[in-house]
Amino acid sequence: MTEILECERMRLPPAVERFILHWGDLGGQWGVNRSVAQIHALLYLSERPLAAEDIAGTLGIARSNVSTSLRELAGWNLIRRVPVLGERRDFYVAETDLWEMVTRIAAGRKEREIDPAIAALRACVAEAGSDPSLGAVPARRLKAMLEFTETLDGWYAQMLRVPHNTLAKLIRLGAGIVRYLPVRPPKP
């Protein structure tokens, strides 16, 4: 079995191997373990469900690392376990709809990063309001950061309600969208 898996590993098309390696590097830059990102890339490009043993053999990653990585990817709702007729092993597939994948990643990052940041900033602003020893500048900057973060959070919530095809058009407009907005002179 190991020999077959090693052969499969060597038979990855160059573009697939390059993508898996690059996605792994990007994962590291985004704060995601390289193995997790590589497994996600392999499942994303795979034409069929893969078992953990297949993933381990194909990528040359320890089976225990694959199991941990699969749990993490499942926690982000980027992969799911699927049944395969006649198999007792667990098989996995990745979400392949790019909009859905990005939406799930954004939701996970918001939950893990933005929501705690807003809670911490609210506590800081509340504490700053009752601390006479705190100067006006730090208090104003804390409040500005909270308002900015809450604005981004509100924008995110609004964008979730926009259909993907409409959102794609909006993104393609890019900076051109500003011509539809009222122009206000910059604040002095």
pLDDT at 10: 52
pLDDT at 3: 44
1-52 pLDDT per residue, tens: 444 444 445 579 999 999 999 999 999 999 899 999 999 999 999 999 999 9
pTM greater than the 0.95 cutoff = no
pLDDT > 70: what percent of the chain? 94
Residue 179 falls within a domain, yes or no?
no
**Residue-range definition of the domain harbouring residue 148:** 98-172
Average pLDDT for residues 137-141, to the nearest whole number? 96
Residue 115 falls within a domain, yes or no?
yes
* CATH number of 79's domain: 1.10.10.10
Residue 185 falls within a domain, yes or no?
no
Residue 183 falls within a domain, yes or no?
no
Tell me if 34 sits within 8 A of 24, measured CB to CB. yes
Average pLDDT for residues 151-156, to the nearest whole number? 95
pLDDT at 92: 98
Distance, CA of 110 to CA of 154 (rounded, Å) = 11
pLDDT at 185: 72
Which position has the token pair 């602003």?
125
Residues 118 and 81 in one domain: no
Q: What's the number of domains the chain is made of?
A: 2
Give 172-184 as a DSSP string. HHGGGGGGGSPP-
SS (H, E, C) 9-50: HHCCCHHHHHHHHHHHHHHHHCCCCHHHHHHHHHHHHCCCCE
Residue 46 falls within a domain, yes or no?
yes
Residue 78 falls within a domain, yes or no?
yes
Average pLDDT for residues 63-74, to the nearest whole number? 97
Residues 57 and 41 in one domain: yes
Average pLDDT for residues 130-134, to the nearest whole number? 94
pLDDT at residue 187 greater than cutoff 80:
no
